């Protein structure tokens, strides 16, 4: 019998029916569709506790090393790493968007590791050099649930500006004992997210360093960024560039809910790196400087600054060129205490007229020096509505009646501190930072004033309904004022608070003739002196035009009023 391949010889004389051949192809396609398909592997497993390495396709046949898992994975795949100790022979290089999942996937690292990480519950990556390198192509990678120990850098992407890392996420990881910058990123990394990690820096290493490159849309939130033992060396978070941490298409940059402790500087944002974002609800404790320096067009709010050896918030240090420095900041609802030099400092090195673009309001300032203004250009600093650790207001040469925290520096006389808060009680302990109830405010003409709003009107506008506006000894010009919320206007019991008309109401019709038009119930005027002589050389028609039955006028004097003092 003949052996070997069988060949089908077609007789060219035979003709095939086209209907037959079409049906044959249809049958082939149907059978191919019905055949079982082999799905591409999307999840790879790694487990160092197994006796030998497997194909990585299931927990029971896992790879022994993370290198094998990364090598097998394609873009979009997941590498699941079981608890254990992993020491790569060389750096783990990621050049595709992968999901790396450690044993603590989804579990915050804050407070998770006490002492050394435990290999029974942690996926520990350790080594002598760089542990993980993010190479070109790693954009979108997620690293979640690991413990990184030792080495020089835990995660590194400092190869150059060409490295694209858009959408990189680093979360729920413990970082300990790195001798260099623990996480060092450089180049294009828009919409970077760093959250729920615990950094324990040593020596002078930086915990999280963002060097030259594009970090627009950065979110750093809910991390512990610590230096155990509080040696006050190194930096917690460092970013430096020319506006390279700003808004992205998707979101504004945010530093929120972190704890910075034990560093020379908790968060150093360079001379002009961070712009157009929020720095909110962080804790800065036991650092040299809590937060600095060239932050721009941002909100700094509801943070707690405690026990900095130097300053809590240092603005403008090292900024000398146009475009550099602290610009257009809103600094409010922060709580400062225990600052060695000052709660807030304003640099004198910025371009003239720029440090005055920052607004400092509604903060609790309780250190010996609350505000240090080293700007000598005489431009006014808006620092009204703060608590200065005493109801008498801040202490400075131009305000001898103030016994609170000091306003210092060569520019101390250029700080507008009126009105100020009469109480340092936090009205909302469930909200981070400091929240005033605005039930007690004080105005004083010892303070220079920004803007054209009369002091009494300025204070009343910020006063809560039913609150007390105290008016210190001095002279206060006031135009027509509508009093449409209950309040007490309280003058000094010793000395005179003279309210002088700055608007003529002589020929005004009806209610407009009243200098103070009172339409609210429970309004009190006490220990105030009213002078109705307007700056136009004429007098007001009526000082207090009261439209309710429950207003009270006590121990007040009136002069130069045409019709009547009040009715």
pLDDT at 536: 73
Say if CB 442 and CB 420 are below 8 A apart.
Answer: yes
What's the average model confidence in pLDDT over 184-190? 90
Query: For residue 188, what pLDDT is reported?
Result: 85
pLDDT of residue 6 exceeding 90: no
Per-residue model confidence (pLDDT) at position 186: 87
What pLDDT does 159 receive? 57
Judged by average pLDDT, the poorest of 82-96, 416-430, 534-548 is 534-548
Bridge partners of residue 45, in order along the sequence: 80
Residue 12 reports pLDDT greater than 90: no
Distance CA 12, CA 31 (A): 29
pLDDT in tens, 264-300: 999 999 999 999 999 999 999 999 999 999 999 999 9
Residue 62 three-state SS: coil
540 phi and psi angles, rounded to 5 deg: -70, 155
Nearest to 565 by CA among 539, 544, 536, 535: 544
Sheet holding 552-554, edge to edge: 420-421, 440-443, 468-471, 487-490, 523-526, 552-554
Q: Which residues contact 415 (CB under 8 A, 6 or more apart)?
A: 371, 373, 380, 381, 383, 394, 396, 407, 447, 448
pLDDT tens digits along 193-225: 999 999 999 999 999 999 888 899 999 999 999
- Check residue 509 and give its pLDDT: 63
pLDDT digits (tens, 9 = 90+) for 21-65: 444 444 333 444 444 443 477 999 999 999 999 999 999 999 999
Indicate the range of 32-46, 230-244, 360-374 predicted with least confidence.
Answer: 32-46
- What's the rounded mean pLDDT across residues 507-517? 78
Can you give the pLDDT at residue 35?
Answer: 43
Tokens of 291: 């937060």
- pLDDT tens sequence across 463-477: 999 999 999 999 999
Take residue 363 and report the two structure tokens written for it.
């903060």
247 burial (CB, 10 Å; 0-12 / 13-18 / 19+) is middle
When the pLDDT of each residue in the chain is averaged and rounded to a whole number, the result is 91
pLDDT in tens, 242-273: 889 999 999 999 999 999 999 999 999 999 99
pLDDT band at 503 (very low <50, low <70, confident <90, very high): confident
Percent of the chain with pLDDT over 70: 91
pLDDT, tens digit, 9 for 90 and up, residues 66-81 = 999 999 999 999 999 9
pLDDT of residue 1: 40
For residue 274, give the DSSP letter. B
pLDDT of 230: 80
476-502 pLDDT, tens digit per residue, is 999 999 999 999 999 999 999 999 999
pLDDT at 126: 98
Instruction: State mean pLDDT over 494-516.
Output: 84
Q: What is the mean pLDDT of residues 366-375?
A: 98
H/E run at residue 67: helix 66-72
Within 13 Å and on the Cβ side, how many CA atoms surround 473? 9
pLDDT, residue 338, reads: 99
Distance between CA atoms of 77 and 95, rounded to whole angstroms? 12
| pLDDT band, residue 18 (cuts 50/70/90) | very low
Q: Output the pLDDT for position 566.
A: 78
What pLDDT shows up at residue 68? 98
Average pLDDT over residues 346-351: 96
The answer to whether residues 503 and 541 touch, using CB atoms and an 8 Å cutoff, is: no
- Tens-place pLDDT, residues 117-138: 999 999 999 999 999 999 989 9
Q: How far apart are CA 229 and CA 213, in angstroms?
A: 32
Q: Which residues contact 158 (CB under 8 A, 6 or more apart)?
A: 184, 185, 186, 211
Of 185, 223, 222, 231, which is closest to residue 204 (Cα–Cα)?
Answer: 231
pLDDT reported for residue 79: 99
Rounded mean pLDDT, 159-172: 79
């Amino acid at each position: 019998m003949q052996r070997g391949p069988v060949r089908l010889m077609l007789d060219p004389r035979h003709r095939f029916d086209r209907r037959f051949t079409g049906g044959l192809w249809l049958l082939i396609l149907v059978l191919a569709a019905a055949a079982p398909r082999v799905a591409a592997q999307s999840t790879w497993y790694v487990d160092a506790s197994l006796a030998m390495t497997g194909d990585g396709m299931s927990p029971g046949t896992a790879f022994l090393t993370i290198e094998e898992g990364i090598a097998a994975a394609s873009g979009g795949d997941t590498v699941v790493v079981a608890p254990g100790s992993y020491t790569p022979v060389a750096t783990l290089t990621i050049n595709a968007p992968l999901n790396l999942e450690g044993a603590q996937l989804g579990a915050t690292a804050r407070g998770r590791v006490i002492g050394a990480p435990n290999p029974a519950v942690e996926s520990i990556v350790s080594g002598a050099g760089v542990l993980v390198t993010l190479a070109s192509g790693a954009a979108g990678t997620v690293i979640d649930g690991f413990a990184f120990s030792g080495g020089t850098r835990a995660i590194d992407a400092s190869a150059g500006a060409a490295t694209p890392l858009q959408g990189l996420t680093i979360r729920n990881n413990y970082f300990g004992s790195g001798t260099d910058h623990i996480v060092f990123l450089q180049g294009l990394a828009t919409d970077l997210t760093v959250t729920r990690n615990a950094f324990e820096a040593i020596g002078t290493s930086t915990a999280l360093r963002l060097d030259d490159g594009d970090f627009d849309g950065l979110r750093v939130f809910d991390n512990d960024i610590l230096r155990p033992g509080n040696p006050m060396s190194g930096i917690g978070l460092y970013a430096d560039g020319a506006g390279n941490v700003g808004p992205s298409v998707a979101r504004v940059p945010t530093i929120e809910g972190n704890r910075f402790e034990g560093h020379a500087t908790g968060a150093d944002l360079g001379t002009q790196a961070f712009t157009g974002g929020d720095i909110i609800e962080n804790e800065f404790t036991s650092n040299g400087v809590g937060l600095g320096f060239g932050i721009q067009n941002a909100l700094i709010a509801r943070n707690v600054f405690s026990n900095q050896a130097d300053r809590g918030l240092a603005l403008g240090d090292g900024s000398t060129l146009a475009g550099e420095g602290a610009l257009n900041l809103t600094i409010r609802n922060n709580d400062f205490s225990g600052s060695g030099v000052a709660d807030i400092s304003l640099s004198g090195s910025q371009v003239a007229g720029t440090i005055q673009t920052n607004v400092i309001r509604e903060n609790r300032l309780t250190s010996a020096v609350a505000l240090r203004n080293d700007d000598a250009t005489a431009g006014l600093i808006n620092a009204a509505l703060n608590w200065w650790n005493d109801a008498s207001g801040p202490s400075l040469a131009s305000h001898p009646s103030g016994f609170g925290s000091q306003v210092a520096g060569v520019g101390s006389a250029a700080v507008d501190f009126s009105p100020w808060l009469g109480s340092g009680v936090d009205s909302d302990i469930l909200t981070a930072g400091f929240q005033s109830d605005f039930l007690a405010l004080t105005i004083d003409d010892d303070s220079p004033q920004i803007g054209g709003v009369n002091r009494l009107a300025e204070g009343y506008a910020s006063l809560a309904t039913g609150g007390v506006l105290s008016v210190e000894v001095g002279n206060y010009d006031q135009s027509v004022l509508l009093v449409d919320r209950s309040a007490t206007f309280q003058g000094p019991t010793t000395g005179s608070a003279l309210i002088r008309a700055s608007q003529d109401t002589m020929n005004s019709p009806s209610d407009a003739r009243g200098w103070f038009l009172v339409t609210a119930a429970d309004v009190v005027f006490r220990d105030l002196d009213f002078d109705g002589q307007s700056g136009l050389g004429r007098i007001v028609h009526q000082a207090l035009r009261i439209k309710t039955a429950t207003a009270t006028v006590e121990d007040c004097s009136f002069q130069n009023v045409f019709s009547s003092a009040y009715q």
